[in-house]
A and B are shown apart, each in its own frame.
Chain A
Amino acid sequence: MSSLRIFLIGGLTSYRALFTWLTPWILIPSFILGPIFQILFFAYVGRTAGVGSDSFFLIGNAVLYASIPCLFAMSNTIGGERQHGTLPLLLASPAHRIPLFLGRALPVIINGFGVSAVALVVGALLLQVPLPLASLAPLALVVAVATFSCTGLGLVTAALALRVRETAVLANVVFGILMIFAGVNVPLDALPSWMGSVAAWLPLTHGIAAAREVAAGASLVSIRTDLLVEAGLGALYIGIGLAMLAWFEREARRRATLETI
């Protein structure tokens, strides 16, 4: 019961407490305008260069933008504690760490999903990309799984915040890597093969591929492999993130790094 409450109530409370972007002045430009600008930019570049389609850029960039809350808000779950000076209190508490940190991921997944959904709908309207009604539910599922997977990577960056001071820089670097490697604006088969190999292990790669197929009318059954791999990668990253959190917490007690700001 206690763990469930920490997962649900604690997760939501810490999201409100630590994610400093939750003001209209940051939230609207970062979560609504940013993705739309990026979608339009690449769609018009694509049109000018005569490569790709509006749908390709719309889906790639809309799903990519889920990673902004997934990476930044997750990093903030530890980095923000450090900034507030609450990290020692959190780690001196007897709360079980798995529900404590997984609970922090839940609002982030919902946030990431919302960002992608708004970007998809507004981008589709602006670029007049038809999204068949029948594809909306499967598309939502794919975006949810991609967001979950990316939040797993966010948990890894959050764990690093127990060791390094500046997590926003790291989140920016990871965002850049995803944009280049995950097939967002350049098809995977156009990338060097080593980049394709790396992409296969990154979150979003399989989700974006699946989302494009679903938007083109494919059924969930036909994209199940991509969907399962994306979910599996999410679980893998969450496992790595939790293991790193446990390791760095022990190291922080040994090396006295908790209160470094």
Chain B
Amino acid sequence: MAVIEVKDLTRTFRSSKGLFRRNAREVEAVRGISFSVERGELFGLLGPNGAGKTTTIKMLITLLLPTTGQASVLGFDVVAHPREVRRRVGYVFGGDRGLYDRLSGLDNLRYFAELYAVPPREQRTRIHELLELVGLTGREKERVEGYSRGMRQRLHIARGLLHRPEVLFLDEPSIGIDPVGARELRATVKALVEHGTTVLLTTHYMFEADDLCDRIAVIAGGQIVSSGTPDDLKQRVSSGPVVEVEVYGVLGGVVDRVQGLPGVRSVVVEERGQAQVLLVHVEPGAEVTQAIMSCLDDARVGRVVTREPTLEDAYIELVGTP
């Protein structure tokens, strides 16, 4: 049986403005999505801002009622049995908020340990274990108002794990964390999954999703537009490989000439330090490297790399953003 089961889930938000003449507005944030997540799986939900990822998570952790459709976590319906769901899931979101600034990190954890009924005898050990895990040992007695954004985020993660949840919802958990912290977070998440925790992750960082997720659903406009393993998604992308050519001083007209080559889908120029990089998206099967080089005239050329499409390329194509 799937740990998370979502069937035809929708959520419509109604808002109104104006004191006397109320103008009502309806937004369909989630429009009939269905997916399931198996035990021990790390499932990614990717999509642009406003796609409906957080709304979906909020329905699954019982903070929002679905407008229509059904969702269950660990066999408990999120509408009919919210308390059963709440006991068994953890929720971590990104950003600065969601902590008691006037309390120390330790007191924040103690308080949430009480809310999640972590037995008093276990609290001390569990909290210290988690402080160690997220690298906050030694700083736990300081008030959270003095914490950096990364420290706050790590405290969020410790908070979400206090009661050893069977299912963990991570909503953009790496926002604001430095690269070292983000790598440690990914290692932590991997370790949790190895120990049997089921994780539903949303992120904007494609390499993170590629590195972590067993399966991914790409959501756009409240609907799932594609799902599968990261490799499945990359293979479904209609564009072929990408040729990256490092050039020092791209002359006028070069981009147009490369764009006009047979087999070239699109050309983008990126500034990287003193060099420009031509990102040439190529039709599958087309061999254009020599033709591109001949278009560059006397420009000084650096590194030339041909690479397969990344998850980011697939994502951009799927959500329809150029």
Contact = CB atoms under 8 A, between A and B. Distances in A.
Interface of A: 2, 5-6, 9-10, 13-14, 16-18, 20, 22, 84-86, 88-95, 100, 253-256, 258
A71 B115 CA distance: 24
A5 B120 contact: yes
Contact of A92 (B62, B95, B99, B100): B62
Contacts of A93: 86, 112, 115-116
Interface size class of B (residues with CB under 8 A): 20 to 34
B61 interface: yes
A253 B98 CA distance: 18
The 7 closest A-B pairs by CB, nearest first: A85-B97, A17-B100, A94-B86, A93-B115, A2-B117, A94-B87, A95-B115
Interface stretch (B102-110, B207-215, B273-281): B102-110
A18 B107 CA distance: 13
Nearest to A252: B63
Given A17-B103, A84-B98, A254-B65, A94 B117 contact: yes
B216 to A, nearest CB: 25
A253 B82 CA distance: 11
Given A95-B117, A253-B62, A258-B63, A18 B97 contact: no
**Chain A binding surface, main DSSP class:** helix
A94 B112 CA distance: 11
B101 interface: yes
A190 B4 CA distance: 66
A253 B64 CA distance: 4
Nearest to B114: A10
A94 B116 contact: yes
A107 to B, nearest CB: 14
A86 B99 contact: yes
B65 A253 contact: yes
A200 B211 CA distance: 67
Contacts of B95: 85
A92 B61 contact: yes
Contacts of A17: 100, 102-103, 107, 111
B111 A13 contact: yes
17 contacts: A2-B114, A5-B114, A13-B103, A16-B107, A17-B100, A17-B102, A88-B58, A88-B98, A91-B63, A92-B62, A92-B63, A92-B91, A93-B112, A94-B87, A95-B114, A254-B65, A258-B63
B83 interface: yes
Given A5-B120, A17-B102, A22-B102, 5 more contacts: A5-B114, A13-B107, A16-B103, A85-B98, A90-B115
B97 A84 contact: yes
A5 B100 CA distance: 19
Nearest to A20: B102
B20 interface: no
A10 B116 CA distance: 11
A253 B63 contact: yes
B11 to A, nearest CB: 8
Nearest to B120: A5
B64 A256 contact: yes
Nearest to A17: B100
A89 B112 CA distance: 9
Contacts of B111: 10, 13-14, 17
Which of A2, A93, A258 has the most chain B CB within a 10 Å cutoff?
A: A93
A89 B317 CA distance: 35
A20 B102 CA distance: 8
A93 B86 CA distance: 6
A16 B91 CA distance: 24
Given A2-B117, A256-B13, A256-B64, A92 B86 contact: yes
B103 A84 contact: no
B85 to A, nearest CB: 9
Nearest to B62: A92
B103 A10 contact: no
Contacts of A95: 114-117
Which of B13, B102, B110, B114 has the most chain A CB within a 10 Å cutoff?
A: B114
A84 B99 contact: yes
Contacts of A94: 83, 86-87, 115-117
Nearest to A251: B65
A16 B102 contact: yes
Contacts of B102: 16-18, 20, 22
